[in-house]
Structure 1
Amino acid sequence: MKRFFPSTALRVFSAAAFALAAGALPLASHAAALDAPLTCNESGHQFIADLAGQQLIDPKPTRVESNSINAFSPAQGADLSAYGFHVFAVVGYEKDDPMFRVGDGEPVARSAYGVVVFGSESKVRHAVTTGGGTAIVHRVAPFITAIFCKRS
Protein backbone atom coordinates (compact mmCIF):
# COMPACT_ATOMS: atom_id res chain seq x y z
CA MET A 1 0.00 0.00 0.00
CA LYS A 2 1.35 3.39 -1.02
CA ARG A 3 1.55 6.27 1.45
CA PHE A 4 1.45 9.96 0.72
CA PHE A 5 4.38 11.72 2.22
CA PRO A 6 3.69 15.16 3.65
CA SER A 7 5.44 16.89 0.75
CA THR A 8 3.38 14.92 -1.81
CA ALA A 9 0.15 15.67 0.01
CA LEU A 10 1.10 19.33 0.18
CA ARG A 11 1.80 19.46 -3.58
CA VAL A 12 -1.54 17.76 -4.35
CA PHE A 13 -3.42 20.12 -2.03
CA SER A 14 -1.63 23.19 -3.44
CA ALA A 15 -2.40 22.16 -7.03
CA ALA A 16 -6.08 21.60 -6.17
CA ALA A 17 -6.31 24.94 -4.33
CA PHE A 18 -4.66 26.75 -7.24
CA ALA A 19 -7.07 25.13 -9.74
CA LEU A 20 -10.08 26.15 -7.61
CA ALA A 21 -8.79 29.69 -7.20
CA ALA A 22 -8.07 30.05 -10.92
CA GLY A 23 -11.54 28.76 -11.73
CA ALA A 24 -13.07 31.26 -9.32
CA LEU A 25 -11.38 34.29 -10.87
CA PRO A 26 -14.11 34.94 -13.45
CA LEU A 27 -16.67 34.88 -10.63
CA ALA A 28 -15.04 37.87 -8.98
CA SER A 29 -16.26 40.09 -11.79
CA HIS A 30 -19.83 39.35 -10.66
CA ALA A 31 -19.28 40.28 -7.01
CA ALA A 32 -21.62 42.86 -5.52
CA ALA A 33 -22.08 44.29 -2.05
CA LEU A 34 -25.72 45.12 -1.33
CA ASP A 35 -25.15 47.33 1.72
CA ALA A 36 -26.28 50.59 0.07
CA PRO A 37 -29.74 49.40 -1.05
CA LEU A 38 -30.29 47.85 2.39
CA THR A 39 -30.47 51.32 3.93
CA CYS A 40 -34.15 50.96 2.94
CA ASN A 41 -34.34 53.91 0.56
CA GLU A 42 -35.69 51.94 -2.43
CA SER A 43 -38.84 50.13 -3.43
CA GLY A 44 -39.07 46.38 -3.78
CA HIS A 45 -39.43 46.85 -7.54
CA GLN A 46 -36.30 49.02 -7.83
CA PHE A 47 -34.19 46.63 -5.72
CA ILE A 48 -35.17 43.48 -7.63
CA ALA A 49 -35.20 45.15 -11.07
CA ASP A 50 -31.69 46.56 -10.51
CA LEU A 51 -30.28 43.15 -9.52
CA ALA A 52 -32.07 41.39 -12.39
CA GLY A 53 -30.89 44.06 -14.85
CA GLN A 54 -27.29 43.51 -13.73
CA GLN A 55 -27.86 39.76 -14.13
CA LEU A 56 -26.99 39.20 -10.47
CA ILE A 57 -30.21 37.27 -9.75
CA ASP A 58 -32.48 35.00 -11.72
CA PRO A 59 -35.44 37.24 -12.65
CA LYS A 60 -37.96 34.44 -12.02
CA PRO A 61 -38.75 33.77 -8.37
CA THR A 62 -37.88 30.30 -7.12
CA ARG A 63 -40.49 30.47 -4.36
CA VAL A 64 -43.45 32.64 -3.38
CA GLU A 65 -44.52 32.75 0.26
CA SER A 66 -48.16 33.11 1.29
CA ASN A 67 -47.38 36.72 2.32
CA SER A 68 -46.35 37.37 -1.33
CA ILE A 69 -42.63 37.57 -0.63
CA ASN A 70 -40.89 36.30 -3.78
CA ALA A 71 -37.53 34.57 -3.31
CA PHE A 72 -34.92 34.92 -6.06
CA SER A 73 -31.69 32.96 -6.43
CA PRO A 74 -28.39 34.65 -7.14
CA ALA A 75 -27.36 34.11 -10.75
CA GLN A 76 -24.74 31.48 -11.45
CA GLY A 77 -21.36 33.08 -10.83
CA ALA A 78 -22.77 36.00 -8.83
CA ASP A 79 -21.16 36.55 -5.44
CA LEU A 80 -23.53 38.74 -3.44
CA SER A 81 -22.80 40.03 0.04
CA ALA A 82 -24.52 42.25 2.57
CA TYR A 83 -22.58 43.87 5.40
CA GLY A 84 -19.83 41.26 4.89
CA PHE A 85 -22.15 38.23 4.95
CA HIS A 86 -22.71 35.85 2.03
CA VAL A 87 -26.17 36.28 0.45
CA PHE A 88 -27.83 33.06 -0.65
CA ALA A 89 -31.32 34.41 -1.39
CA VAL A 90 -32.80 37.75 -2.42
CA VAL A 91 -36.43 38.55 -1.59
CA GLY A 92 -38.89 41.19 -2.69
CA TYR A 93 -42.46 42.21 -3.39
CA GLU A 94 -44.27 45.25 -4.79
CA LYS A 95 -48.07 45.44 -4.79
CA ASP A 96 -49.69 45.43 -8.27
CA ASP A 97 -46.31 44.87 -9.96
CA PRO A 98 -46.27 42.15 -12.65
CA MET A 99 -42.64 41.36 -11.78
CA PHE A 100 -43.89 39.63 -8.61
CA ARG A 101 -46.23 36.71 -8.07
CA VAL A 102 -48.89 37.04 -5.37
CA GLY A 103 -49.21 34.55 -2.53
CA ASP A 104 -52.49 33.22 -1.18
CA GLY A 105 -52.35 35.21 2.09
CA GLU A 106 -52.12 38.81 3.17
CA PRO A 107 -49.10 40.61 1.61
CA VAL A 108 -46.37 41.49 4.10
CA ALA A 109 -46.37 45.15 2.96
CA ARG A 110 -47.07 47.35 -0.05
CA SER A 111 -43.38 47.12 -0.90
CA ALA A 112 -40.67 44.98 0.66
CA TYR A 113 -37.23 43.63 -0.17
CA GLY A 114 -34.13 42.17 1.39
CA VAL A 115 -31.65 39.34 1.51
CA VAL A 116 -31.06 36.15 3.45
CA VAL A 117 -27.50 35.63 4.66
CA PHE A 118 -25.38 33.06 6.47
CA GLY A 119 -24.67 34.54 9.92
CA SER A 120 -26.05 34.70 13.43
CA GLU A 121 -28.73 37.27 14.17
CA SER A 122 -26.55 39.11 16.70
CA LYS A 123 -23.55 39.40 14.37
CA VAL A 124 -25.70 40.48 11.42
CA ARG A 125 -27.58 43.03 13.57
CA HIS A 126 -24.28 44.45 14.81
CA ALA A 127 -22.90 44.72 11.25
CA VAL A 128 -26.07 46.41 9.95
CA THR A 129 -26.16 48.89 12.85
CA THR A 130 -22.44 49.63 12.58
CA GLY A 131 -22.83 50.12 8.82
CA GLY A 132 -25.61 52.68 9.36
CA GLY A 133 -28.35 50.40 8.02
CA THR A 134 -31.96 50.77 9.09
CA ALA A 135 -33.16 47.38 7.87
CA ILE A 136 -35.04 44.89 10.02
CA VAL A 137 -32.80 41.99 11.08
CA HIS A 138 -34.70 38.77 11.68
CA ARG A 139 -33.49 35.27 12.64
CA VAL A 140 -34.73 32.69 10.13
CA ALA A 141 -32.90 29.62 11.50
CA PRO A 142 -29.65 29.01 13.37
CA PHE A 143 -26.99 31.04 11.53
CA ILE A 144 -29.47 32.11 8.84
CA THR A 145 -30.67 35.70 9.08
CA ALA A 146 -32.85 37.98 6.97
CA ILE A 147 -32.04 41.66 6.37
CA PHE A 148 -35.32 43.23 5.34
CA CYS A 149 -36.81 46.58 4.31
CA LYS A 150 -40.54 47.27 4.00
CA ARG A 151 -42.92 50.11 3.30
CA SER A 152 -46.55 50.04 4.44
Structure 2
Amino acid sequence: MKRTFSHFFAALIAAAAATTPLVSHATELDAALACGESAHRFIGDLADQQLIDPEPMRVESNSINAFQPARGERLTAFGFSVFAVVGYEQDDPLFKRGKGEPLAKSAYGAVVFGNTEKVQAVVTEAGSNAIVHHVGPHITAIFCKRK
Protein backbone atom coordinates (compact mmCIF):
# COMPACT_ATOMS: atom_id res chain seq x y z
CA MET A 1 0.00 0.00 0.00
CA LYS A 2 2.83 2.41 0.85
CA ARG A 3 4.39 2.08 -2.62
CA THR A 4 1.07 2.69 -4.38
CA PHE A 5 0.41 5.81 -2.28
CA SER A 6 3.91 7.14 -2.89
CA HIS A 7 3.71 6.82 -6.67
CA PHE A 8 0.18 8.18 -6.74
CA PHE A 9 0.92 11.24 -4.64
CA ALA A 10 4.20 11.97 -6.43
CA ALA A 11 2.15 12.42 -9.61
CA LEU A 12 -0.29 14.64 -7.70
CA ILE A 13 2.54 16.88 -6.52
CA ALA A 14 3.55 17.66 -10.09
CA ALA A 15 -0.03 18.34 -11.18
CA ALA A 16 -0.86 20.47 -8.16
CA ALA A 17 2.26 22.58 -8.33
CA ALA A 18 1.26 23.77 -11.77
CA THR A 19 -2.32 24.60 -10.78
CA THR A 20 -2.22 25.82 -7.16
CA PRO A 21 -3.55 29.40 -7.08
CA LEU A 22 -2.63 32.10 -4.60
CA VAL A 23 -5.74 33.22 -2.71
CA SER A 24 -6.53 34.92 0.57
CA HIS A 25 -9.38 32.85 2.08
CA ALA A 26 -9.42 29.18 3.01
CA THR A 27 -12.05 26.52 3.59
CA GLU A 28 -11.22 24.18 6.47
CA LEU A 29 -11.74 20.43 6.05
CA ASP A 30 -10.97 19.54 9.68
CA ALA A 31 -14.50 18.46 10.70
CA ALA A 32 -14.88 16.15 7.69
CA LEU A 33 -11.49 14.59 8.42
CA ALA A 34 -12.76 13.36 11.77
CA CYS A 35 -13.76 10.38 9.60
CA GLY A 36 -17.47 10.38 10.37
CA GLU A 37 -18.83 10.54 6.83
CA SER A 38 -18.72 8.71 3.53
CA ALA A 39 -16.50 9.50 0.57
CA HIS A 40 -19.64 10.40 -1.40
CA ARG A 41 -20.63 13.05 1.11
CA PHE A 42 -17.09 14.44 1.50
CA ILE A 43 -16.35 14.76 -2.22
CA GLY A 44 -19.95 15.51 -3.20
CA ASP A 45 -20.25 18.39 -0.74
CA LEU A 46 -16.97 19.92 -1.95
CA ALA A 47 -18.06 19.59 -5.58
CA ASP A 48 -21.53 21.03 -4.85
CA GLN A 49 -19.91 24.05 -3.19
CA GLN A 50 -17.62 24.37 -6.22
CA LEU A 51 -14.56 24.06 -3.98
CA ILE A 52 -13.07 21.27 -6.11
CA ASP A 53 -13.09 20.37 -9.77
CA PRO A 54 -15.76 17.62 -9.95
CA GLU A 55 -13.75 15.70 -12.56
CA PRO A 56 -10.87 13.75 -11.01
CA MET A 57 -7.43 14.77 -12.24
CA ARG A 58 -6.19 11.22 -11.67
CA VAL A 59 -7.61 7.78 -10.90
CA GLU A 60 -5.24 5.30 -9.29
CA SER A 61 -5.42 1.56 -9.97
CA ASN A 62 -6.83 1.09 -6.43
CA SER A 63 -9.72 3.38 -7.53
CA ILE A 64 -8.71 6.37 -5.43
CA ASN A 65 -9.79 9.47 -7.38
CA ALA A 66 -7.82 12.70 -6.90
CA PHE A 67 -9.56 16.05 -7.23
CA GLN A 68 -7.86 19.41 -7.29
CA PRO A 69 -9.18 22.53 -5.60
CA ALA A 70 -11.22 24.71 -7.94
CA ARG A 71 -9.45 27.68 -9.43
CA GLY A 72 -9.29 30.47 -6.87
CA GLU A 73 -10.12 28.20 -3.91
CA ARG A 74 -7.82 27.34 -1.01
CA LEU A 75 -8.50 24.37 1.23
CA THR A 76 -6.83 23.57 4.54
CA ALA A 77 -6.75 20.52 6.78
CA PHE A 78 -5.71 21.02 10.40
CA GLY A 79 -3.92 24.22 9.39
CA PHE A 80 -2.01 22.67 6.48
CA SER A 81 -2.56 23.69 2.85
CA VAL A 82 -4.38 21.07 0.80
CA PHE A 83 -3.34 20.54 -2.79
CA ALA A 84 -5.62 17.57 -3.54
CA VAL A 85 -8.58 15.77 -2.03
CA VAL A 86 -9.01 12.09 -2.68
CA GLY A 87 -11.83 9.62 -2.46
CA TYR A 88 -13.63 6.56 -3.69
CA GLU A 89 -16.94 4.92 -2.86
CA GLN A 90 -17.91 1.58 -4.31
CA ASP A 91 -20.76 1.59 -6.86
CA ASP A 92 -20.99 5.39 -6.77
CA PRO A 93 -21.16 7.24 -10.12
CA LEU A 94 -19.34 10.21 -8.56
CA PHE A 95 -16.13 8.15 -8.73
CA LYS A 96 -14.29 6.36 -11.50
CA ARG A 97 -13.08 2.82 -10.89
CA GLY A 98 -9.43 1.92 -11.34
CA LYS A 99 -8.14 -1.24 -12.99
CA GLY A 100 -7.11 -2.95 -9.75
CA GLU A 101 -8.73 -3.86 -6.47
CA PRO A 102 -10.35 -0.86 -4.70
CA LEU A 103 -8.59 0.30 -1.53
CA ALA A 104 -11.85 0.26 0.46
CA LYS A 105 -15.62 0.45 -0.01
CA SER A 106 -15.43 4.09 1.05
CA ALA A 107 -12.27 6.13 1.55
CA TYR A 108 -11.46 9.81 1.40
CA GLY A 109 -8.96 12.37 2.54
CA ALA A 110 -6.68 15.27 1.78
CA VAL A 111 -3.09 15.56 0.65
CA VAL A 112 -1.30 18.40 2.40
CA PHE A 113 1.97 20.25 2.39
CA GLY A 114 3.43 19.35 5.79
CA ASN A 115 5.91 17.22 7.68
CA THR A 116 4.37 13.84 8.53
CA GLU A 117 5.24 14.02 12.23
CA LYS A 118 3.76 17.51 12.60
CA VAL A 119 0.61 16.51 10.71
CA GLN A 120 0.23 13.37 12.87
CA ALA A 121 0.57 15.43 16.05
CA VAL A 122 -2.12 17.90 15.00
CA VAL A 123 -4.51 15.18 13.76
CA THR A 124 -4.07 13.24 17.02
CA GLU A 125 -4.57 16.37 19.11
CA ALA A 126 -7.80 17.10 17.20
CA GLY A 127 -9.12 13.64 18.13
CA SER A 128 -9.39 12.40 14.55
CA ASN A 129 -8.84 8.72 13.85
CA ALA A 130 -7.63 9.52 10.32
CA ILE A 131 -4.66 7.63 8.95
CA VAL A 132 -1.65 9.90 8.43
CA HIS A 133 0.59 8.64 5.64
CA HIS A 134 4.02 9.95 4.61
CA VAL A 135 4.04 10.59 0.87
CA GLY A 136 7.28 12.46 0.34
CA PRO A 137 9.38 15.26 1.78
CA HIS A 138 6.85 17.64 3.36
CA ILE A 139 3.92 15.89 1.64
CA THR A 140 1.45 13.98 3.81
CA ALA A 141 -1.90 12.30 3.24
CA ILE A 142 -4.68 12.45 5.83
CA PHE A 143 -7.01 9.56 5.03
CA CYS A 144 -10.31 8.18 6.30
CA LYS A 145 -11.22 4.62 5.37
CA ARG A 146 -14.30 2.49 6.00
CA LYS A 147 -14.08 -1.28 5.78
Does residue 1:79 correspond to 2:74, yes or no?
yes
Residue segments in structure 1 that go unaligned for 5+ positions in a row:
1-22
Distance in 2, matches of 1:65 and 1:140, equals 15
Distance in 1, matches of 2:103 and 2:52, equals 22
Distance in 1, matches of 2:124 and 2:100, equals 31
Residue segments in structure 2 that go unaligned for 5+ positions in a row:
1-21
Q: How does 1:15-26 map to 2 (within 5 A)?
A: 24=23
Distance in 1, matches of 2:135 and 2:59, equals 16
Letter matched to residue 67 of structure 1: N
Question: What per-residue deviation string (whole Å, max 9, x for no partner) do you get for residues 60-105 of structure 1?
Answer: 0000000000000000111100000000000000000011000000
1:96 maps to which residue? 91
Q: How does 1:1-152 map to 2 (within 5 A)?
A: 24=23, 27-28=24-25, 31-152=26-147
Larger Rg: 1
Question: What per-residue deviation string (whole Å, max 9, x for no partner) do you get for residues 31-68 of structure 1?
Answer: 21000000000000000000001110000000000000
Q: Report how many residues are paired.
A: 126
Distance in 1, matches of 2:129 and 2:50, equals 26
Query: Which TM-score applies when normalising by structure 2?
Result: 0.83
Distance in 2, matches of 1:88 and 1:94, equals 21
Distance in 1, matches of 2:73 and 2:116, equals 24
Distance in 1, matches of 2:76 and 2:129, equals 17
Sequence identity (%): 65
CA shift, 1:140, in A, is 0.6
Which secondary structure state, in structure 1, belongs to the residue aligned with residue 94 of structure 2?
coil
Distance in 2, matches of 1:43 and 1:136, equals 15
